[in-house]
A and B are shown apart, each in its own frame.
Chain A
Amino acid sequence: MRRCAAVLVLLLASGCASTEDKPPRSSPGAGRSELTVYSGRTEDLIRPIIERFEKQSGIKVKVRYGDTAALASTLLEEGDRSPADVFLAQDAGALGAVSERGLFANLPASVVDRVPQRFRSRDGSWVGLSGRARVAVYNKQQLPDAEVPESALDLTGPKWKGKVGWAPTNGSFQAFVTYLRKLQGDDRARTWLQAMKANEAKAYQNNIAIVKAVAAGEIPIGLVNHYYLLELSREDPSISEKAANKFFSKSPGSLVNVAGAGVLKTSKRRDDAVKLLEFLLSDDGQGYFATKTFEYPLVASVKPDAKLPAIDSIQSPDVDLSDLKDLQGTLALLRETGVL
């Protein structure tokens, strides 16, 4: 007991000591010397690029990593008391939700003008940093390239019964359904969901699980974002021998969605925050996303990975990504059709 207590006391003491090391904090947002970022993207991805920014600009950055939706909800709960300066989000929906509550400041032209109109919010409150396309991943051994359909809507035929993997709980999938609703109407979206369900589409936890299942031959084809295949292949090269991506050429095509960022209105260090976004949209920053995550750079001067088709060649009708934040209707539809 005594030894146990001694260990505990030591631990607690070290805990208190290291708290005291830090400069005392007053109210959130006031008098901090560093830029505070909430990142819904992972530390493995974000830390190296942030360190590069710190070195280049001399600005200190502190990052809180978390789930994009949870951090967006945190920003909504914090409201005008938020200690955050910048929000880096995994998807446009989360940015839209924060923007809708008026928590983002307007971005200057130096940031906004780097990115094509369709990859940022219309009101200039947030900007896309990298693009991801909705594609099909298929097993090359089980499915000849020519037999892979040219549209996700064609996966409802009897040929695909029990053979398609999808992730109905996944944000990217739900964004695709929202997009389908905007593009072709609720009725068409409902019919497709019902047909897919009747066709025994297999629900997976997320995109990664689908790519793995396809590579393992569990299912011949699945609906995912384009970069998972390339990322997983880096960890396990045999995956790219077994599976390939298919970019859809027929309507509704392969929706290109974005991961992006916004600057909080309550930020006391808005200039530094804007500098960070400018850096992430510089050729250096964009090149980093392209090589590290295989996402599409959104700045014209930077090329995507050599294995990918050019972003302009992807069939992705012009849709305002801010509109994709209306997920309540999509959720209702997914539940009504029993997909969720």
Chain B
Amino acid sequence: MQVPSAPAAVLEPPSGPPSGRRSQPAGRPAPPALAAASGAVAVMALLPALYLVVRAAGGDPAAVVRQALDSRTLALLARSCGLAAAVTASSTLIAVPAAWLTVRTDLPGRRTWAVLTALPLVIPSYVGGYAFVAAFGPRGVAQQWLSGLGVERLPSIYGFAGAWGVLTLFTYPYVLMTVRSAMRGLDPSVEEAARSLGRRSFIRVTLPQLRPAIASGALLVALYALHDFGAVSLLRFDSFTRVIYQQYQSSFDRRSAAILSLVLVAVTLAVVTAEGRTRTRARYYRAHSGAARRAPVTALGRWRWPAFAACGLLVLAALVVPVGIVGYWFVRGMASGESAGFTLGAAAGSLQASALGAVAALVAAWPVALLSARHPGRFAGVVERSSFVGYALPGVVVALSLVFLGTRLVPALYQTRAMLTFAYVVLFLPQAVGALRASLLQVPPEVEDAARSLGSSPMTVMRRVVAPMVRPGALTALALVFLTVMKELPATLLLSPIGFQTLATRVWGATSEAFFARAAAPALALVALSSAPLAYLVFRESRRR
């Protein structure tokens, strides 16, 4: 069946001004198929929590909670929340200007910067952490250089400041990516209208329009900082996740670990709910025809080169330093006769696992994002919050929950590629949901209504009308999940088919005995392989419109 392919052009603007803040009627009830699909995804995402409840149950719960939550544990929880808040704030402050500079200005070498500023996303925090300690730790590379200049001591990299800095440098791309794709979907005419009325357009008009994208990116950063174990332990920041790891690592006490993990789930749900509260019923889509054109490029004028320098500094800190250190290890290792340390099989394993994970996460995220964007309400809220459970937990907890459930419920699938892909979806679903949702919000529902009124079935509307319009968001979702799976370790180690290798498991295998030289080759390959799809995506996006 044929459907008009340019729905925006046939639309009449709805009544009322196309302002971004007008409230709209409460969400329409979701169609049963959508409700069922998103409900199923929510149940899937809640599986780790189900396991935790099973593990935590039994005995006197009050006593265990008392034991698990002594004052020191609570203090650690508070510290972790503080770190998450700080990392979120700094990531947003870096990412939003960086997104604007690389999308909307005449920054010299804009597209190259667009790729380079997103690249730190591909550096696993355990590699980045090692590299930063090697660079800025006591007697590190930086110290050795600076001692020639008479600098005897650098401020310590260990503790809160170090963890804050390192986590910020490796997580700001989550905000950057979502904001950038939203920025491309913005309607430039809104800003033009604002300017014609003498308003400064970025703060008053553009920024509020970007709010869903900023919020979803910031949420990913906050929860990442909350559940991260690699970077915080390398930088010796005492965090709540470390307590959970200790329960497994030194006492094999799965019950206490489960109870502490449930505490983390509760905190996460509180954070996600708080983010939900910041949402308004504002509209973020263009509401009239003729807006599909390139947004004007802002001339930076005399700020061009300072902006260039700022991007350079950011890339230097977040990309050049860690990759440089790993490259140095690689060269040193080669010189002392180390073998390259990874096989093409590992590279192929990484690509395969990441591609499967990304596609599966996108498919699972679709109904959740659609429900949340089109039919907001209590049910949508519950579904969306559920999708965060796996993301909030340390990877090993999610992996063990799937070990428990997999051996009991689907033994035939246990430790197969299908199971591994499922684990990736449970772990990284919110990345896909956030990016998709931000993009869906920019599509006017009236377009869908129009297509429906012209006789299209809901599936056709999705395929022919909505899917093309949310392509930037879908690609961002794919990229985020793809790149995150490239770095994933605990689930890959425990749930992959036996003998399955990825570059990340090779890095891990080599660093756990501290042979940095041997870890360097797979780590560099990991960064290089991840960069290619990211560069393709960014270049492609910046050519469009």
Chain A interface residues (CB < 8 Å from chain B): 1, 4, 8, 11-12, 14-15, 18-19, 22, 25-28, 36, 42-45, 62-67, 69-74, 76-79, 81-83, 93-94, 97, 169, 171, 174, 203-206, 208-209, 213, 216-218, 228, 231-232, 235-236, 327-328, 330-331, 335, 340
Is B449 part of the contact surface with A, judged by Cβ < 8 Å?
no
Pick the residue among B249, B352, B408, B494 that contacts A81 (CB under 8 A): B408
Known: A4-B536, A62-B498, A235-B515. 5 other contacts (CB 8 A): A25-B416, A45-B513, A67-B512, A204-B236, A335-B72
Known contacts A26-B412, A28-B411, A81-B407; is A231 also within 8 Å of B253 by CB? no
List residues of B (389-412) whose CB comes within 8 Å of A's CBs. Answer: 396, 399-400, 403-404, 407-408, 411-412
Can you list 25 contacts pairing A with B, beta carbon distance less than 8 Å? A4-B536, A8-B359, A11-B351, A28-B414, A28-B415, A36-B498, A44-B518, A63-B499, A66-B493, A67-B512, A69-B248, A69-B249, A69-B250, A77-B254, A83-B498, A204-B236, A205-B234, A213-B138, A216-B138, A216-B139, A231-B514, A235-B516, A236-B336, A331-B246, A331-B251
Look across to chain B and name the residue whose beta carbon is closest to the beta carbon of A40: B512
Pick the residue among A42, A69, A205, A231 that contacts B252 (CB under 8 A): A69
Known contacts A70-B490, A70-B493; is A169 also within 8 Å of B242 by CB? yes
Asked if residues B355 and A15 are in contact (CB atoms below 8 Å), the reply is yes
Complex Cα spacing A104 to B203, Å = 65
Asked if residues B252 and A94 are in contact (CB atoms below 8 Å), the reply is yes
Look across to chain A and name the residue whose beta carbon is closest to the beta carbon of B407: A81
Asked if residues B411 and A1 are in contact (CB atoms below 8 Å), the reply is no
Look across to chain B and name the residue whose beta carbon is closest to the beta carbon of A37: B498
Asked if residues A77 and B407 are in contact (CB atoms below 8 Å), the reply is yes
Look across to chain A and name the residue whose beta carbon is closest to the beta carbon of B415: A83
Asked if residues A74 and B246 are in contact (CB atoms below 8 Å), the reply is no
Chain A residues in 8 Å Cβ range of B91: none
List residues of B (319-358) whose CB comes within 8 Å of A's CBs. Answer: 333, 336, 338, 348, 351-352, 355-356
Pick the residue among B411, B494, B497 that contacts A66 (CB under 8 A): B494
Asked if residues B250 and A208 are in contact (CB atoms below 8 Å), the reply is no
Is B504 part of the contact surface with A, judged by Cβ < 8 Å?
no
Complex Cα spacing A97 to B257, Å = 15
- Within the complex, what minimum Cβ distance (angstroms) separates B351 from chain A? 6
What 4 pairs across the A-B complex have the smallest Cβ distances? A208-B514, A97-B252, A216-B139, A81-B407
Asked if residues B352 and A11 are in contact (CB atoms below 8 Å), the reply is yes
Is B471 part of the contact surface with A, judged by Cβ < 8 Å?
yes
Complex Cα spacing A97 to B138, Å = 38
Query: How many residues of B are in contact with the other chain, CB < 8 A?
Result: 60
Asked if residues B407 and A78 are in contact (CB atoms below 8 Å), the reply is yes
Chain B residues in 8 Å Cβ range of A93: 250, 252
Chain B residues in 8 Å Cβ range of A66: 493-494
Complex Cα spacing A209 to B399, Å = 28
Asked if residues B493 and A67 are in contact (CB atoms below 8 Å), the reply is yes
Chain B residues in 8 Å Cβ range of A8: 355, 359
Is B286 part of the contact surface with A, judged by Cβ < 8 Å?
no
- Within the complex, what minimum Cβ distance (angstroms) separates B506 from chain A? 8
Complex Cα spacing A169 to B494, Å = 22
Chain B residues in 8 Å Cβ range of A218: 138-139
- Within the complex, what minimum Cβ distance (angstroms) separates B245 from chain A? 8
Asked if residues A78 and B403 are in contact (CB atoms below 8 Å), the reply is yes
Pick the residue among B70, B254, B352, B493 that contacts A15 (CB under 8 A): B352
Is B505 part of the contact surface with A, judged by Cβ < 8 Å?
yes
Is B385 part of the contact surface with A, judged by Cβ < 8 Å?
no
Complex Cα spacing A18 to B249, Å = 34
Is B370 part of the contact surface with A, judged by Cβ < 8 Å?
no
